[in-house]
A = this chain, B = another copy of it.
């Protein structure tokens, strides 16, 4: 209930309370039987003395509008004023909504053969829990967040990047809710409205960009033939994108990694066509030996916008990634982050700092890379033994997934349906394409599954491919 003073002075009087209640009862806002706030509650809300509210209630009881029942409270007795038609019977308007086109989230219950996730058995859950406990050491999580991200975490990330040959400063890092939010704040703050992406490409970037009003153009990528950068150059000249988003290590969904000369050529194309570069480096931490792999950011310097994520490699539900931004972009990216979420989850940022600071991440990556290398080799062995001769696959050298290309003429949709009948879900490979699909296949996720289980699923796949060919 709201009561306003009848004169512009400071104090609300008993008469004001009476008038407000008469109005609310008369309008039907307080229907018969409604219970009124106790005197002490209304006095606290309005900053009044108890006498004022009690006097108002007494008057309304005397006027027959309220009923004061001992030990029960004060109730509305009956309307005594002409009532307006009950407004609540007129239903409020509905808004119109539209969903960005994203595929259904996996519901479980099937064997996700193309999963890009890593087997939770390989994730450092106990050590993360230890770091969360450490972050809560001093009386629980700290109350306030830093909108750009916990400063010690940003410093630790910058140090890690410098160790990998990437010039980086803590002030140039914006911590995000996974790398997806890094893409989101880039898409929000970017002033040019056309973005070029690899085709096929990361499936969640297209609805993100389009829902924010960007035009998306595709740059065909064939993981078996490598990049056709002459073709890319022609497309860049024709489409004039302002930003080119490239997953240079372990491209999703094909597993392709750019060669050094391709990176160099891409930097030259960036200068020639005035297209800025955003590099998504989610994959290199999963590849053993990737300390030898250069990045666009390392070769091209500060102007290249670099994004990465910890969550895939540590724990998907942790939701922590970051952008390493050119200096002229940082204020805009932080503002975009603040307008969308104000700030991030400090406790998780503190726990991740502990994890990095204690050297756990490096230890974990070594163990993870070794495990993924083993699963990768086991997967390759399976494929070589099981698959019909016309089946091809990429050899990413490790990581979580490869691309399996079906023999020409295989009905991929029918194959998916038959596999689903056997409890095995294949990714809809063509969903990764922006233009016409120039590949016909799907991801195989060897990181998500123990080798024996994967071998059984690949055996079933080989059977169904043989039947379908």
A38 surroundings in chain B (CB, below 8 A): 289
12 A-B residue pairs with CB within 8 Å = A10-B393, A38-B289, A45-B288, A91-B301, A92-B271, A97-B189, A100-B336, A100-B339, A132-B140, A141-B315, A144-B316, A318-B347
Against B, the Cβ 8 Å flags (1 = close, 0 = not) of A1-36 are: 111100010101000000010011001111000011
User: Chain B's nearest CB lies how many Å from the CB of A396?
Assistant: 8
Residue of B nearest to A147 (CB): B105
Which of A206-214, A413-421, A461-469 faces chain B? A206-214
Check if A453 is an interface residue, CB within 8 A of chain B: no
Check if A64 is an interface residue, CB within 8 A of chain B: no
Against B, the Cβ 8 Å flags (1 = close, 0 = not) of A274-317 are: 11110000000001110011101001110111000000000111
CA distance A232 to B28 in the complex (A): 21
Check if A450 is an interface residue, CB within 8 A of chain B: no
A243 surroundings in chain B (CB, below 8 A): 95
* A interface, CB within 8 angstroms of B: 1-4, 8, 10, 12, 20, 23-24, 27-30, 35-38, 41-42, 44-47, 87-88, 90-102, 105, 117, 120, 123, 125-126, 128-129, 132-133, 136, 139-145, 147, 177-178, 180-181, 184, 188-192, 204, 207-208, 211-213, 224-226, 242-243, 256-265, 267-268, 270-277, 287-289, 292-294, 296, 299-301, 303-305, 315-319, 326, 328-329, 331-336, 338-348, 373, 376-377, 380, 384, 392-393, 395-398
CA distance A42 to B259 in the complex (A): 13
Verify A347–B132 contact, CB threshold 8 A: yes
A92 surroundings in chain B (CB, below 8 A): 267, 270-271, 276-277, 296, 300-301, 303-304
Q: A100-B339, A274-B93, A326-B94 are in contact. Are A225 and B143 (CB under 8 A)?
A: no
User: Chain B's nearest CB lies how many Å from the CB of A258?
Assistant: 6
* 8 Å CB contact of A141 from B287, B318, B331, B376: B318
Verify B93–A271 contact, CB threshold 8 A: yes
Known A88-B267, A102-B339, A345-B348; 12 more pairs at CB < 8 Å: A27-B264, A29-B259, A37-B292, A87-B265, A91-B303, A92-B304, A95-B191, A99-B336, A128-B140, A178-B342, A180-B341, A207-B339
Q: Which 8 A-B pairs have the closest CB atoms?
A: A45-B397, A41-B289, A125-B140, A2-B259, A317-B346, A95-B276, A29-B260, A129-B140
* 8 Å CB contact of A44 from B259, B288, B300: B288
Q: A87-B267, A338-B105 are in contact. Are A126 and B100 (CB under 8 A)?
A: no
CA distance A144 to B282 in the complex (A): 18
A99 surroundings in chain B (CB, below 8 A): 189, 331-332, 334-336
CA distance A191 to B99 in the complex (A): 10
A90 surroundings in chain B (CB, below 8 A): 267-268, 271-272
A136 surroundings in chain B (CB, below 8 A): 129, 132-133
Q: A259-B29, A348-B348 are in contact. Are A144 and B317 (CB under 8 A)?
A: yes
Verify B95–A268 contact, CB threshold 8 A: no
A242 surroundings in chain B (CB, below 8 A): 95-96
* 8 Å CB contact of A340 from B41, B145, B180: B180
A256 surroundings in chain B (CB, below 8 A): 2
CA distance A117 to B144 in the complex (A): 9
User: Chain B's nearest CB lies how many Å from the CB of A93?
Assistant: 4
* 8 Å CB contact of A328 from B24, B94, B267, B299: B94
User: Chain B's nearest CB lies how many Å from the CB of A25?
Assistant: 9
A339 surroundings in chain B (CB, below 8 A): 100, 102, 180, 184, 204, 207-208, 211
* 8 Å CB contact of A88 from B98, B123, B191, B299: B299
